[in-house]
């Protein structure tokens, strides 16, 4: 699988946005993440999807991990102050909630009952990286950290 970062670019509404794409060996797109800066809320909002035939192979999880590294480690959006990354997920979308939680996102209070908001702050990202490194050093499974 190949992961690509496309951007940053300006959306039609003037907002800075980016896209993550995962492709197979034949350059067929298997999944994507769309991200855009929300200046009012001071965050980066993302949504994602994986084509039906490619689901359940860890693609969404890998794309999220790649995206977080791009945003927080590489500062691919060239922003002065790191912003938190926010996901707004339908409350009943268990696969997506599971993927978000497994990637280390934390649930935050939401006004809506129909959707759940998750966030990753720069601090939380650093903490997750440290936990992952420790797990690798101690030879523990990287999941459920």
Ligand X SMILES: CC(C)(COP(=O)(O)OP(=O)(O)OC[C@H]1O[C@@H](n2cnc3c(N)ncnc32)[C@H](O)[C@@H]1OP(=O)(O)O)[C@@H](O)C(=O)NCCC(=O)NCCS
**Does 96 participate in binding ligand X (rule CB under 6 A)?**
yes
- Could you tell me the smallest distance in angstroms from the CB atom of residue 31 to ligand X? 6
Query: What are the phi and psi torsion angles at 107 (to 5°)?
Result: -70, 135
For every residue of 34-62, DSSP letters joined together read: EEEEETTTTEEEEEEEE-GGGTTSSHHHH
Choose between 47 and 74: whose C-beta lies nearer to ligand X: 47
107 near ligand X (CB under 6 A): no
The reply on whether position 67 binds ligand X by CB under 6 A is: no
d(CA 57, CA 34): 20
28 touches ligand X by CB under 6 A: no
CA distance 21 to 7: 11
Does position 95 interact with ligand X (CB under 6 A)? The reply is yes
Min CB(17)–ligand X separation in Å = 15
* Inter-helix orientation angle 59-68/94-102, to 10°: 40
> Contact with ligand X (CB under 6 A): which of 6, 28, 49, 142?
49
Residues lying near ligand X in the complex (CB under 6 A) are found at: 47-50, 55-61, 87, 89, 93-96, 98-99, 102
């Amino acid at each position: 699988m190949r992961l690509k970062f496309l951007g940053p670019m300006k959306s039609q509404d003037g907002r800075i946005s980016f896209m993550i794409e995962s492709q197979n060996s034949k350059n067929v797109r298997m999944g994507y993440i769309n991200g855009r800066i929300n200046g009012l809320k001071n965050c980066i909002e993302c949504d994602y999807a994986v084509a039906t035939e490619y689901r359940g192979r860890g693609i969404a999880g890998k794309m999220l991990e790649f995206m977080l590294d791009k945003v927080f480690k590489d500062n691919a959006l060239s922003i002065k102050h790191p912003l938190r990354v926010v996901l707004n997920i339908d409350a009943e979308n268990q696969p997506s909630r599971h993927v978000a939680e497994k990637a280390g996102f934390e649930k935050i209070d939401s006004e809506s009952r129909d959707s759940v908001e998750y966030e990753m702050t720069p601090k939380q990202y650093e903490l997750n990286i440290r936990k992952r490194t420790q797990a690798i050093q101690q030879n523990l499974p990287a999941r459920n950290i």
